[in-house]
C-alpha cells in the first residue's frame, strides 16, 4: 500500500492558498446540470479553477468527471447553468487558443510520426511552443521520428500530453493522463505537471490513481452522481475521514484508549493496537505518559483511498 | 521557465491557410503510408483495367473502342473507391477513437478537417486516373488528346468531391468497425450495375433501365461524354443528377451531425 508511505505528513495549509482564493477564477461551472436523455450526468454542479492551481477531479466511474471536462472544453453544452472559461464561452475559438487538452483517446492517426503530429497541432495555435521545448517537456526526445503506431503505451500517453502543450495554453485539462504508464514514467510526468503549474498554468486532472491526486493536487474535488460531495486539500480530505492512525503495542485497554479526546476508533490487529484519532499528537503524548512499556509506534495518515471510499460510499 | 519566454516572441497569428495546408498534407501522407488503403484503392482498379480493358485493346463495337470506353469506367470506379474508403472509413474511425473530439477541443476549424479529407480523396482519385490513363495509352492503344486528358482530370476532381459527400454520410451513420464492409456492400454492386466494370449495353435490358437511378451511372456517363461514348440522356441531366445527389448527401449529413451534437 504505497499511500501509507505518506506517514507523518504535515497538515499545513497550502502556502499561497489565501491569495489564490481572491483571484478571478480561470474557469468555472455554475449550477450546471447536464442530462443525456433521462440520465442525469451532472446535477447543479459548481466548480471553479483558480490561476496556477492543480485540481484533481476524483470520482467513481460514471460520476460525471468526463462530462465536466467536455463542458469546460466547449465540446458539449449544458442543459442548464453556465460555463465560463477565461470569462467567455468555451465554444469560442478565441477561448480554445488558450486551452490544451489530453483526452482519453483510444487511437490516434498511427501512420504519422511524433514530430508530424506536433507540427500539425502547433499550426492550430497563434503562439505555439517551439517543438524542441515540447519534446523536452513531454520527454519525447529520441522518438520524434517514430510513427505513432510504433510507440509503447506510455510513449503514446506522452505524445497525447505533448499535444495538450502545443499551444502553450494557460489552462490544461488532463483526463486520466498516466493510464498505461509505468511508475517511473508516471513520476516523470507528475514532475512535468508540477512544473507547468509553477509557471502559472492551471491544471485540471481526472484520475483513478488516488496516489496521483495526492501527489499532485493543491485541491481535490470529489464528485459522485454528478454532484460535488467533498472539496479540499488532500490533507483536509484525509482528515475528514476520521483522522490519523496510531499503531503500537500497548497494555492500555480499549476502553481507556476510547476515552482519550478525539479518538474515533480503536481496534486490534494481532498483537498490535490501532487507534484512529483526529489530534494524533495529543493522543500519543497521553498514551506514552500512561504506558511506559508502549513500543512499535507508527503514525500514518489514512490512505486517500480510504477517505475516498468512505466519501463515495453513498 | 524559458519556454514561456520564447513563445511570447513568436508572431501572434495562426494563419488559417496554413492550417488547411498542413491538415491536407498530413492527411495525404497518412493515406499513402496506410498500405491497406493506398495499395487497395490504387491496385484494384489498375488490376481490373489491365485484365479487362487491355485485353480488349483491339475490340471495336459500333465505333466504340472498348479499351477506351473501359478507361472511363475504371477511372470512375477508382475515384469513387478512394472517396468512399478515404472518408467513410477514415472519418468513422476518427470519430470512434475520440480523435476528432480531441481535435475539436483545439482551435482547429472543423472545415479544415473536412477540406483535408476531401482534398486527399481527390488527390488519390487524380493519381488513380493518371495511372490508368498511362496504362491505357501505353498498352491499350488508347488515343487521347490533351484536351480529353484535362477534361478527365476535371471530372475526376468533381466526382471525388461528390462521392466524398457520400463517404461523409456513411461515416456518420455506420460504426467504425462495420464501415469497410458496408462501403463494399454499397460500392461494388453500384459500380457493377452502372457499367463501370462491364459496359452497360452488355447487361440485361431491365438492368440498363435501373442504372439511371444510381449516382455512379451519371458520373460514368459524364466521363464517357468526353469520348462521345455517352448514352442518349442529355449531359445537363447527368450533371444535375450528380449535383443533386451530392447536395442530398451533404444535407442529410448536416442533419445527422446536428442531431448528434444535440444529444452529445
Q: Cβ(B174)–Cβ(B92) under 8 Å? A: yes
Here the cell at position B240 is 444535375
Instruction: Indicate the Cα dihedral angle B109, B111, B116, B118, nearest 10°.
Output: 170
Beta bridge partners of B7: none
Residue A247 sits in a domain of what CATH number?
A: 3.30.70
Co-location of A9 and A81 in the same domain: yes
pLDDT at A183: 85
Which of A123-161 are b and which e, b meaning 16 or more Cβ less than 10 Å from the residue's Cβ? Answer: bbbbbbbebebbbebbbbeebbeebbeebeebbbbbbbb
Q: Do residue A32 and residue A85 come from a single domain?
A: yes
Indicate whether A18 and A31 sit together in one domain.
yes
Same domain, A91 and A175: yes
pLDDT of B181: 94
How far B261 CA sits from the closest chain A CA (Å)?
A: 7
Domain assignments of chain B as residue spans, ordered by start = 15-263
- Which of A276, A285, A263, A268 lies closest to A303 in space, CA to CA? A276
Do A282 and A264 have their domain in common? yes
- Give pTM, 2 decimals: 0.82
Residue A34 resides in a domain: yes
Question: Which of A188, A218, A238 represents a domain boundary (last residue)?
Answer: A238
Domain that residue A218 falls in:
2-98+170-238
- Exposed (0-12), middle (13-18) or buried (19+): which is B262, by Cβ within 10 Å? exposed
User: Between A101, A125, A168, which is nearest B102 by CB?
Assistant: A101
Q: If you search the block for the grid coordinates 495511372, which residue do you land on?
A: B131
Cell readout for B93 is 474511425
Cα nearest neighbour of A197 on chain B: B1
CA distance B125 to B42: 9
The answer to whether residues A200 and A284 belong to one domain is: no
Q: How many Å lie between the alpha carbon of B31 and the closest alpha carbon of chain A?
A: 8
Helix (H) or strand (E) holding A210: helix A210-216
Contact A64, A27 (CB under 8 A): no
Residue B240 sits at the vertex; the CA angle it makes with B236 and B244, to the nearest 5 degrees, is 175
Tell me which chain B residues have a C-beta less than 8 angstroms from the C-beta of A133. 2-3, 6-7
For residue A40, being part of any structural domain is answered with: yes
Residues A193 and A209 in one domain: yes
Q: Cα(A171)–Cα(A196) distance, rounded to whole angstroms?
A: 10
Q: Convert chain B into a string of H (helix), E (strand) and C (coil).
A: CHHHHHHHCCCCCCCHHHHHHHHHHHHHHHHHHCHHHHHHHHHHHHHHHHHHHHHHCCCEECCEEHHHHHHHHHHHHHHHHHHHHHHHHHHHHHHHHCHHHHHHCCCCCHHHHHHHHHHHHHHHHHHHHHHHHHHHHHHCCCCCCHHHHHHHHHHHHHHHHHHHHHHHHHHHHCCCCCHHHHHHHHHHHHHHHCCCCCCHHHCCHHHHHHHHHCHHHHHHHHHHHCCCCCCCCCHHHHHHHHHHHHHHHHHHHHHHHHHHHHHC
Neighboring chain B residues of A73 at a CB cutoff of 8 Å:
105
Contact A101, A173 (CB under 8 A): yes
User: Which SS3 state, helix, strand or coil, does residue A82 take?
Assistant: strand
Q: How far is CA A226 from the centre of its chain?
A: 17
Nearest neighbour of B4 by CB, restricted to A93, A147, A199? A199
CB B126 within 8 A of CB B158: no
Verify that A246 and A234 share a domain, yes or no. no
In a domain, A246, yes or no: yes
Q: What residues pair up with A300 in beta bridges, in sequence order?
A: A245
Angstroms from B95 CA to nearest CA on chain A: 10
Ranges of residues in chain A with a pLDDT under 70 are 1-23, 241-242, 302-307, 310, 313-314
Residues A303 and A175 in one domain: no
CB contact under 8 A, B99 and A109: yes
pLDDT of residue A313: 66
pLDDT tens-digit map of A208-252? 777 888 889 999 998 888 999 888 998 887 777 667 888 999 989
Q: Do A123 and B263 touch (CB under 8 A)?
A: no
Provide the pLDDT for residue B262: 72
Which residue of B lies nearest to A104 if distances are taken between CA atoms? Answer: B98
B218: cell is 451519371
Regarding whether A83 and A191 lie in a shared domain, the answer is: yes
Left (φ > 0), alpha (ψ -120 to 50) or beta: where does B185 sit? alpha
CA distance A102 to A83: 19
Query: Are residue A92 and residue A24 in the same domain, yes or no?
Result: yes
- Per-residue pLDDT of A141-181, as tens digits, reads 999 999 999 998 889 999 999 999 999 999 999 998 988 78
Question: What are B252's three cell numbers?
Answer: 442529410
Residue % of chain A over a pLDDT of 70 = 88
Domain count, chain A: 2
Q: Going by C-beta distance under 8 Å and a sequence separation of 6 or more, which residues neighbour residue B39?
A: none
Q: Is residue A10 part of a domain?
A: yes
Q: Where are the beta strands (DSSP E) in chain A?
A: 27-36, 39-49, 54-58, 80-85, 99-102, 171-175, 202-206, 219-224, 227-232, 244-249, 263-269, 272-277, 295-300
| Model pLDDT, residue A210 | 76
Cα gap A74→A72, rounded to integer Å: 5
Q: Which three cell numbers stand for residue A253?
A: 485497554
pLDDT value for A28:
94
In the three-class reduction of DSSP (H, G, I as helix; E, B as strand; rest coil), residue A36 is classed as strand
First CA to last CA distance, chain A: 24
Verify whether the Cβ–Cβ distance A112 to B29 is below 8 Å: yes
Which candidate from B6, B99, B109 shows the least CB-CB separation from A107? B99
Give the largest CA-CA distance in chain A. 70
Per-residue pLDDT of chain B (264 residues; tens, 9 = 90+): 444 444 443 444 568 899 999 999 999 999 999 998 999 999 999 999 999 999 989 989 888 999 999 999 999 999 999 999 999 999 999 998 889 999 999 999 999 999 999 999 999 999 999 999 999 999 999 999 999 999 999 999 999 999 999 999 999 999 999 999 999 999 999 999 999 998 888 888 888 888 999 999 999 999 999 999 998 899 999 999 999 999 999 999 999 988 887 776
Chain A residues within 8 A of B106 when measuring between CB atoms: 96, 101, 121, 124-125, 167
Find chain A residues with C-beta within 8 A of B16's C-beta. Answer: none
Residues of B in contact with A175 (CB under 8 A): none
Last residue of a domain, one of A238, A268, A296: A238
Contact A200, A295 (CB under 8 A): no
Distance, CA of B216 to chain centre: 11
CATH number at residue A202: 3.40.50.300
Q: How many CB atoms lie within 10 A of CB B158?
A: 19
A41 and A79 part of one domain? yes
Cα–Cα distance, B220 to B198 (Å, whole number): 12
CA distance A104 to A177: 8
Distance from CA of B17 to the nearest CA of A (A): 10
pLDDT of residue B10: 41
Amino acid at each position: 500500500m504505497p499511500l501509507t508511505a505518506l506517514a507523518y505528513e504535515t497538515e499545513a495549509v497550502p502556502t499561497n492558498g489565501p491569495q489564490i482564493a481572491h483571484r478571478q477564477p480561470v474557469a468555472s461551472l455554475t449550477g450546471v446540470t447536464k442530462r443525456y436523455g433521462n440520465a442525469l450526468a451532472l446535477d447543479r454542479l459548481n466548480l471553479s479553477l483558480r490561476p496556477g492551481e492543480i485540481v484533481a477531479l476524483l470520482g467513481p466511474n460514471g460520476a460525471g468527471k468526463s462530462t465536466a471536462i467536455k463542458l469546460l472544453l466547449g465540446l458539449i453544452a449544458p442543459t442548464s447553468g453556465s460555463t465560463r472559461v477565461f470569462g467567455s464561452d468555451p465554444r469560442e475559438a478565441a477561448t480554445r487558443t488558450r486551452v490544451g487538452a489530453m483526452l482519453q483517446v483510444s487511437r490516434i492517426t498511427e501512420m504519422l510520426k511524433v514530430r508530424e503530429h506536433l507540427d500539425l497541432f502547433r499550426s492550430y495555435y497563434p503562439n505555439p511552443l517551439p517543438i524542441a521545448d515540447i519534446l523536452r517537456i513531454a520527454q519525447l526526445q529520441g522518438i520524434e521520428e517514430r510513427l505513432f503506431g510504433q510507440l509503447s503505451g506510455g510513449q503514446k500517453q506522452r505524445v497525447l500530453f505533448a499535444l495538450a502543450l502545443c499551444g502553450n495554453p494557460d489552462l490544461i485539462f488532463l483526463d486520466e493522463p498516466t493510464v498505461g504508464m509505468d511508475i517511473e514514467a508516471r513520476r516523470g510526468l507528475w514532475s512535468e505537471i508540477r512544473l507547468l503549474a509553477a509557471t502559472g498554468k492551471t491544471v485540471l486532472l481526472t484520475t483513478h490513481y488516488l496516489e496521483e491526486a495526492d501527489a499532485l493536487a493543491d485541491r481535490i474535488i470529489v464528485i459522485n452522481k454528478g454532484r460535488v460531495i467533498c472539496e479540499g486539500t488532500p490533507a483536509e480530505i484525509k482528515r475528514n475521514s476520521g483522522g490519523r492512525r496510531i499503531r503500537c503495542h500497548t497494555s492500555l485497554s480499549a476502553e481507556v484508549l476510547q476515552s482519550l479526546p478525539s479518538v474515533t476508533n480503536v481496534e486490534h490487529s494481532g498483537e498490535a493496537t490501532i487507534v484512529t484519532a483526529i489530534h494524533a499528537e495529543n493522543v500519543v503524548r497521553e498514551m506514552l505518559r500512561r504506558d511506559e512499556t508502549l513500543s512499535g509506534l507508527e503514525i500514518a495518515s489514512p490512505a486517500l483511498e480510504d477517505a475516498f471510499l468512505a466519501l463515495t460510499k453513498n | 521557465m524559458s519556454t514561456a519566454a520564447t513563445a511570447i516572441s513568436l508572431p501572434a497569428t495562426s494563419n488559417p491557410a496554413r492550417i488547411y495546408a498542413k491538415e491536407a498534407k498530413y492527411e495525404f501522407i497518412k493515406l499513402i503510408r496506410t498500405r491497406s488503403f493506398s495499395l487497395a484503392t490504387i491496385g484494384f482498379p489498375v488490376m481490373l483495367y489491365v485484365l479487362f480493358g487491355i485485353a480488349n485493346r483491339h475490340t471495336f463495337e459500333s465505333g466504340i473502342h472498348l479499351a477506351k470506353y473501359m478507361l472511363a469506367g475504371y477511372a470512375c470506379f477508382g475515384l469513387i473507391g478512394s472517396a468512399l474508403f478515404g472518408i467513410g472509413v477514415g472519418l468513422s474511425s476518427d470519430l470512434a477513437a475520440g480523435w476528432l473530439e480531441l481535435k475539436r477541443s483545439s482551435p482547429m476549424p472543423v472545415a479544415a478537417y473536412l477540406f483535408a479529407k476531401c482534398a486527399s480523396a481527390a488527390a488519390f482519385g487524380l493519381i488513380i486516373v493518371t495511372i490508368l490513363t498511362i496504362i491505357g495509352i501505353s498498352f491499350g492503344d488508347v488515343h487521347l488528346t490533351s484536351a480529353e486528358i484535362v477534361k478527365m482530370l476535371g471530372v475526376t476532381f468533381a466526382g471525388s468531391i461528390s462521392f466524398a459527400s457520400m463517404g461523409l454520410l456513411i461515416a456518420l451513420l455506420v460504426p467504425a468497425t462495420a464501415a469497410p464492409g458496408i462501403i463494399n456492400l454499397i460500392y461494388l454492386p453500384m459500380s457493377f450495375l452502372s457499367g463501370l466494370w462491364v459496359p452497360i449495353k452488355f447487361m440485361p435490358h431491365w438492368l440498363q433501365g435501373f442504372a439511371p437511378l444510381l449516382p455512379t451511372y451519371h458520373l460514368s456517363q459524364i466521363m464517357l461524354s468526353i469520348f462521345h461514348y455517352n448514352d442518349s440522356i442529355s449531359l445537363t441531366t447527368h450533371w444535375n443528377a450528380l449535383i443533386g445527389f451530392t447536395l442530398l448527401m451533404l444535407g442529410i449529413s448536416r442533419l445527422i451531425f446536428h442531431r448528434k451534437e444535440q444529444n452529445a
